[in-house]
Amino acid sequence: MTRQLANATLAILLAAGARAAVPPAPAGAPGKHADDSCIGCHAKLDDVRLRKPAELATADIHHAQGISCAGCHGGDPTSGDPTVAMDPRKGFVGKFAPRAIPEMCGSCHSNAAYMLRYAPNIPTDQLSQYRTSKHGLALAKGATDVAVCSSCHGAHGVRPPSDARSPVYPTRVVDTCARCHADVALMNRYGIKGNEVEEYKKSVHYAALTEKNDLSAPTCKSCHGAHGATPPGVDSVANVCGTCHVSQLERFDLSPHKDAFTAMDQPACEACHSNHAIGHPQDSWIGVADKQVCGACHSAGDAGAVAAATISGALSKAAASEAAVRERVGRVKRAGMLMDAADIKLEEAHQSYVMAEVEIHTVTVARVEKQTQAVLAATSAADKDAAAAEAEIRFRRTGLFVSLAVIAVAMVTLALKIRSMER
Ligand code: HEC
Ligand code: HEC
Ligand code: HEC
Ligand code: HEC
Ligand code: HEC
Ligand code: HEC
Ligand code: HEC
Ligand code: HEC
Ligand code: HEC
């Protein structure tokens, strides 16, 4: 009944043109809400449920633009008489049915001509995108527990997404999605595991976001979108990761896996990295043994397993060489030698090593080995520098020894001379 009423009043509201109810106050005009009866009365009500929206008004971007309670709820903000102010015949909607909310927010937000007057840079596609999302599709079928605009943005005290206090700001959006997506009972009703948030919180991405405050790390919305929230499917998943990890995607596209995975309906990156609990990759992943990533599809003796073993061997050799030379150069430096040239070579070796790890995505032995050989060439050059420096140290030590010996002989001779003169 109430929903019917709400829908009916919404229809009236929309028919009357929701925008007509918006006071077109110039931005920044002082005291423009002073005569707004809705705020005036609600700010004094005892019930916190009724008072809170009025208290949040000053933090609301709509309020700052002169859009008051009536902008969303309708009604007559010029009357102090509650029966007039909150008269459904004046388009007033007290409680929105979930289905009415996207349409209400969208009445302004999908009106390009209207939005242009206030904020020309804000896109006006949220409602049309939302309708294509799993949230929007389920809502249209009558679900009442999916996300609507206010589930993610709040209804009162709405802030721009760039404001760190907004519930959709990168560091906060995870918890906003988690309100529903970590609710296992709710998610199970839709055949979703409900462990996605928990898994994501174990990832390098979440660590980068929360520990390094790296806002370029992906949150739920980076991979799923904000308004068109659907999981990236098989076709798009490689592209989702690849928007940020460009080099790995490029290499993957060169690999025999590109076509093979497409034929298997296997998303590109997920097979080896998973989707939510993405961990820090290690050389030891490469192989077909337990807990190694190639073993999911290859088995001992096949071409993939052979390539994995060769690649793994080449990497270990390069890693061992880099570690050993770094050690040797360190020792020489502690003995007081300047080793800038060797440091540069070691840095080159490290860069080639990082490139070898990227080239793994081609699963092509020759491409990985090209980089590991560059590592070995650079470490061998640095090793030569270290050897030369060690020879120099030996030479200086011998030199020191010889001069000490000469001095000692001279002093003994002198002492003998003095003694013979005293006699
Ligand atoms: C003179 C005081 C007064 C004025 C003016 C007033 N309200 Fe209310 N409002 C109330 C009270 C009291 C309630 C709770 C009783 C009720 O539900 O009727 C209420 C309830 C509401 C509710 C909640 C309805 C629900 O079903 O939970 C909304 C939304 C609301 N008002 C919005 C507005 C808007 C928008 C305006 C201005 C156009 C406005 N109010 C003007 C006093 C006022
Ligand atoms: C940007 C649109 C928007 C504006 C502006 C707005 N509201 Fe609301 N309001 C909503 C929506 C949407 C809901 C329903 C929230 C929900 O179900 O999560 C709501 C719910 C409410 C409720 C019911 C809260 C509850 O917990 O049951 C009250 C009371 C209310 N609004 C009062 C006001 C008052 C007073 C103002 C002005 C200070 C105001 N609103 C401004 C969108 C708005
Ligand atoms: C009466 C018209 C109107 C309605 C209804 C409306 N908005 Fe807005 N909204 C605006 C305008 C105008 C702006 C731009 C304000 C600015 O940028 O200064 C805005 C800004 C926003 C922003 C900030 C965007 C940004 O990038 O700065 C968000 C988020 C937002 N609205 C969400 C909502 C939600 C959620 C609802 C429904 C609960 C809603 N709006 C209902 C007119 C409206
Ligand atoms: C599932 C959560 C979710 C829902 C539902 C949702 N939004 Fe958003 N919205 C976001 C996130 C996250 C952002 C920030 C997007 C970004 O940073 O790219 C955003 C951004 C916005 C912006 C600012 C866009 C910009 O580029 O400045 C507006 C306006 C907006 N939403 C309005 C709406 C409206 C209207 C609805 C309902 C039709 C809605 N949103 C539904 C999560 C949501
Ligand atoms: C108010 C609760 C709620 C909030 C908040 C919410 N969701 Fe949802 N979401 C749901 C429900 C319920 C479903 C299941 C809909 C269905 O499958 O029909 C869903 C479905 C999804 C799906 C589709 C899953 C699938 O199996 O196809 C994705 C992706 C998604 N949500 C992402 C997000 C993201 C990202 C956010 C935060 C920006 C978010 N949701 C916020 C309730 C919510
Ligand atoms: C790095 C990208 C990425 C991030 C970040 C991410 N997801 Fe996903 N998500 C995926 C991929 C990939 C899939 C699987 C798509 C497929 O297999 O078709 C997926 C699937 C899902 C599904 C559907 C699961 C099912 O069983 O149907 C939900 C729900 C979901 N993610 C929610 C979230 C939420 C909530 C967050 C934030 C805590 C999040 N995701 C963060 C990439 C991501
Ligand atoms: C929005 C950009 C973005 C998207 C999308 C993204 N990532 Fe990332 N990813 C990052 C950033 C930034 C880091 C760096 C974290 C750090 O180490 O500080 C990272 C780190 C990683 C790492 C760890 C690197 C290391 O050396 O520890 C892996 C593996 C990874 N991402 C895989 C993926 C996969 C697989 C996907 C898709 C399912 C994906 N990423 C989607 C930005 C992104
Ligand atoms: C066949 C398995 C496999 C696939 C498919 C795969 N990766 Fe990797 N990825 C690895 C392995 C193994 C490592 C570890 C390399 C190392 O540390 O030796 C790695 C490392 C990474 C890293 C860390 C930086 C680096 O290059 O060492 C990122 C980022 C990454 N992968 C992203 C991706 C993206 C994006 C995709 C999809 C385009 C993808 N990976 C597909 C196996 C895979
Ligand atoms: C999701 C399954 C899957 C995973 C995981 C996987 N592969 Fe593959 N790989 C395939 C398929 C399918 C083919 C193409 C069919 C074939 O030749 O066996 C293939 C082909 C190859 C080939 C070309 C074989 C040839 O005949 O020329 C190499 C090399 C290879 N993979 C190496 C690897 C390595 C190394 C890893 C681990 C880092 C890995 N693969 C992980 C499925 C996978």
List the chain domain ranges: 1-123, 232-276, 303-387
Q: Which residue lies with its CA nearest to atom 39 of ligand 7?
A: 241
Q: Minimal CA–CA distance to 39: which of 75, 77, 13?
A: 77
* pLDDT, tens digit, 9 for 90 and up, residues 63-118: 999 999 999 999 999 999 999 999 999 999 999 999 999 999 999 999 999 999 99
Confidence of residue 255 (pLDDT cuts 50, 70, 90): very high
Buried b (16+ CB within 10 A) or exposed e, 165-189: ebbbbbeebbebbbebbbeeeebee
Q: Is the CB of 363 under 6 A from ligand 9?
A: yes
Instruction: State yes or no: pLDDT of 228 exceeds 70.
Output: yes
Mean pLDDT across 248-264: 95
pLDDT score at 231: 72
Instruction: State yes or no: pLDDT of 137 exceeds 90.
Output: yes
Instruction: State yes or no: pLDDT of 422 exceeds 80.
Output: yes
Which ligand number lies closest to the CA of residue 82?
1
Measured CA to CA, the distance from residue 10 to residue 151 in angstroms comes to 19
pLDDT score at 15: 41
Instruction: Say how many Å lie between the CA of residue 77 and the centre of ligand 8.
Output: 59
| pTM, two decimal places | 0.90
Burial of 28 (0-12, 13-18, 19+ CB in 10 A): exposed
- Contacts of 40 by beta carbon, 8 Å cutoff, 6+ apart: 80
pLDDT score at 234: 60
Instruction: State yes or no: pLDDT of 34 exceeds 70.
Output: no
User: 243 is written with which tokens?
Assistant: 């928007």
Q: Minimal CA–CA distance to 309: which of 271, 365, 247?
A: 365
Instruction: Say how many Å lie between the CA of residue 367 and the centre of ligand 3.
Output: 52
Instruction: State yes or no: pLDDT of 1 exceeds 90.
Output: no
Q: Residues lining ligand 1, judged by CB closer than 6 Å? A: 37-38, 41-42, 45, 50, 69-70, 73, 75-77, 80, 82, 85-86, 94-95
Mean pLDDT across 18-43: 58
Q: Is the CB of 278 under 6 A from ligand 8?
A: no
Residue with the larger pLDDT of the pair 264 and 234: 264
Instruction: State yes or no: pLDDT of 29 exceeds 60.
Output: no
Which ligand number lies closest to the CA of residue 232?
6
Instruction: Say how many Å lie between the CA of residue 40 and the centre of ligand 6.
Output: 44
Instruction: State yes or no: pLDDT of 14 exceeds 60.
Output: no
Q: Which residue has the tokens 């206030």?
A: 118
* pLDDT, tens digit, 9 for 90 and up, residues 184-208: 999 999 999 999 999 999 999 999 9
Q: Is the CB of 114 under 6 A from ligand 3?
A: no
Tell which one of 196, 215, 240, 249 to mutate to probe ligand 6, the residue whose CB is within 8 A of the most ligand atoms: 196
pLDDT score at 198: 97
Which ligand number lies closest to the CA of residue 357?
8
User: Percent of the chain, pLDDT > 70?
Assistant: 91
* pLDDT, tens digit, 9 for 90 and up, residues 279-310: 999 999 999 998 899 999 999 999 999 999 99
User: Percent of the chain, pLDDT > 90?
Assistant: 82
- Are 332 and 386 in contact by the 8 Å Cβ rule? The answer is yes
Instruction: State yes or no: pLDDT of 323 exceeds 80.
Output: yes
Instruction: Say how many Å lie between the CA of residue 61 and the centre of ligand 3.
Output: 7
Q: Minimal CA–CA distance to 269: which of 294, 299, 239, 247?
A: 239
Confidence of residue 33 (pLDDT cuts 50, 70, 90): low
Q: What is the mean pLDDT of the chain?
A: 90
Q: Is the CB of 177 under 6 A from ligand 6?
A: yes
Q: Is the CB of 67 under 6 A from ligand 6?
A: no
Tell which one of 291, 360, 365 to mutate to probe ligand 8, the residue whose CB is within 8 A of the most ligand atoms: 360
C-alpha distances in angstroms, 228 versus 99, 134, 147, 197? 17, 8, 11, 19
Which ligand number lies closest to the CA of residue 158?
3
Q: Which of 163-167, 237-241, 328-332 has the lowest mean pLDDT?
A: 237-241
Confidence of residue 152 (pLDDT cuts 50, 70, 90): very high
- Identity of residue 241: C
Euclidean distance between the first and the last CA atom of the chain, given in angstroms as a whole number: 131
Q: Which of 28-32, 58-62, 395-399 has the lowest mean pLDDT?
A: 28-32
Q: Residues lining ligand 4, judged by CB closer than 6 Å? A: 102, 105-106, 109, 122-123, 126-127, 130, 135, 147-149, 151-153, 161, 168, 173, 221, 226-227, 229
Top-confidence range, 141-155, 261-275, 409-423: 141-155
